[in-house]
Structure 1
Amino acid sequence: MTNAQDHILIVDDDREIRTLLADYLEKQGLRCTTAADGREMKAALERHRVDLIVLDLMLPGEDGLTLCRNLRAGGTHANTPVLMLTARGEDMDRILGLEMGADDYLPKPFVPRELLARIRAILRRARALPPNLDAHPPAHATMLRFGAWRLDTVGRHLIATDGTAVPLSGAEYRILAVFLAHPQRVLSRDQLMELTQGREADVFDRSIDLQVSRLRQRLGDNAREPTIIKTVRNEGYVLSSTVEAIDA
């Protein structure tokens, strides 16, 4: 269930769609603010506390992918859930949206009732997490040091001790960001799945184990005796290093 005071920001350059969605969601007890582009979105975020952003992919000026990526880079609204809309339904658009940090993806055309169900599900998942557990690095931290590595949270890549940049996939960055947000804390597979993919883990789903394995390869962490991301038997994984925000 959503709360009566939940505030939804709808960002879409189609005035008819903005009005239709706002009217429908307000009839369902939600508060809505609308914006036609990235400039209006930023202004609305400065004025209001927003619980979720419905963000169209195709916008004039900065598109939805860029806006979502910049939002996740840090700041007051870095952890605000984002539901991305697009008129294009190709898998690549969905994957790009999720890799930029969107919490869910809904292709147009859609019925408002489905949008409402997705909004409720995202808010329910966000509120089901422990209050001190989130999926993003500390706000405003553009560079994080852990062990011998640094993470550039703007460029979303690793930097080795010799200055070499090591690229990360969207999935690798998301799971590393979760570990860096909660160093020296055991995170279960269910928590990692919820924080990185916004869903519960299936009993046979080994995707988290695969992502951790790939991330260890990026970090040069020995799979048999890892020293950076350690396995805690029957519990999950833990980042053993301390994390420090540093100047870029």
Structure 2
Amino acid sequence: MSQRKVLVVDDEEHILELIKFNLEKNGFEVYTSDDGEECISFLTKQKVDLVVLDLMLPGTDGLEVCKRIRRLEGLEKIPIIMLTARGEETDRILGLELGADDYITKPFSVRELVARIKAVLRRIEDAPQTKSKLLKVKDLEMNIEQHEIRVKGILIELTLKEFELLRILIENRGKVLSRNLLLDEVWGYEYFGETRTVDVHIRHLRKKIGDDETGDYIETIRGVGYKIK
């Protein structure tokens, strides 16, 4: 298998050096950038497997960069891990809702960051091994092989985490899946009980598939988790 390529974007030189050193030690090929605009320009020319993106960048900040990456053809589903010094829940939620697949707050454990990167990439590698290539619930169709979601024939753009979350729910249709189980299955590591992350992704997922208005697909089981009706 060829080396996985990671782009790390941060305006603090020592952070870039620290992450680059540890990722290279773990077998990754690492590119770095200290500027949001430069990051976007780089991604249009060079293919990478994952982006580690700092929120607090000069000029174009990480949230705007994340939003613009999600609008670029061919980069809509590239995994993004948001790196931020902000600890407020609203900032983390905003990053997730703009399309980030994960976040980690400074000061951070390099070992945890590496573990999260590996977990996200492992999920991508394991995706083709799912039980069925085509899943359907009412007017919603999920094509695993093509990584597509359609509702009433209309193509819906989902992030990697949203796609995996919906896939697991559909494959377990009728079963109530707890937030902790979903964290473990979708994120692939111990998430320190921050089940709010699941709720944020479910809310965004519902909005994208129109379920926030109809309630046709995902049912909330109060105090427990979620299930597909």
**Aligned residue type for 2:147:** D
The match for 1:134 is 147
RMSD across aligned positions (CA): 4.1
Q: Provide the rounded CA distance (Å) in 1 between the counterparts of 2:22 and 2:86.
A: 23
Give the alignment partner of residue 169 of structure 2, picking from 189, 204, 212.
Answer: 189
Once superposed, which parts of structure 1, at least 4 consecutive aligned residues long, lie more than 4 Å away? 190-193, 205-209, 211-214
> Aligned-pair distance for 1:26?
0.7
In structure 2, runs of 5+ residues without a counterpart are 129-143, 187-194, 220-226
Calculate the TM-score normalised by the size of structure 1: 0.59
Distance change >3 Å, CA 216–CA 16, structure 1 → 2: closer
Alignment of 1:98-247 (within 5 A): 98-130=96-128, 132-134=145-147, 189=169, 200=185, 215-216=210-211, 218=213, 221=214, 236=228
> Aligned-pair distance for 1:42?
1.8
> Aligned-pair distance for 1:174?
6.6
Calculate the TM-score normalised by the size of structure 2: 0.64
Question: Per-residue CA shift, 1:174-212, capped at 9, x if unaligned?
Answer: 79x85xxxxxxx95516699xxx87527xxx99669x75
| Residue 10 (structure 2) pairs with residue 12 (structure 1) | yes
Equivalenced residues, count: 183
Contact kept? 1:135, 1:174, Cα under 8 Å: no
Q: Provide the rounded CA distance (Å) in 2 between the counterparts of 1:236 and 1:41.
A: 38
Q: Provide the rounded CA distance (Å) in 2 between the counterparts of 1:97 and 1:37.
A: 18
Distance change >3 Å, CA 174–CA 8, structure 1 → 2: closer
The match for 2:40 is 42
The match for 1:156 is none
Distance change >3 Å, CA 128–CA 42, structure 1 → 2: same
Q: Provide the rounded CA distance (Å) in 2 between the counterparts of 1:58 and 1:79.
A: 22
Question: Per-residue CA shift, 1:101-150, capped at 9, x if unaligned?
Answer: 1111100001211110110111112222236253789xxxxxxx957x99
Quick check: which one's helix share is greater?
2
The match for 1:62 is 60
Distance change >3 Å, CA 146–CA 36, structure 1 → 2: same
Q: Provide the rounded CA distance (Å) in 2 between the counterparts of 1:230 and 1:74.
A: 29
**Aligned residue type for 2:169:** R
Q: Look up the SS of the partner of 2:44 in the other structure.
A: helix
The match for 1:86 is 84
Q: Provide the rounded CA distance (Å) in 2 between the counterparts of 1:68 and 1:135.
A: 21
Q: Provide the rounded CA distance (Å) in 1 between the counterparts of 2:28 and 2:49.
A: 10
Contact kept? 1:8, 1:52, Cα under 8 Å: yes
In structure 1, runs of 5+ residues without a counterpart are 138-144, 154-172, 179-185, 238-248
Contact kept? 2:76, 2:159, Cα under 8 Å: no
**Aligned residue type for 1:31:** E
Identity %: 38
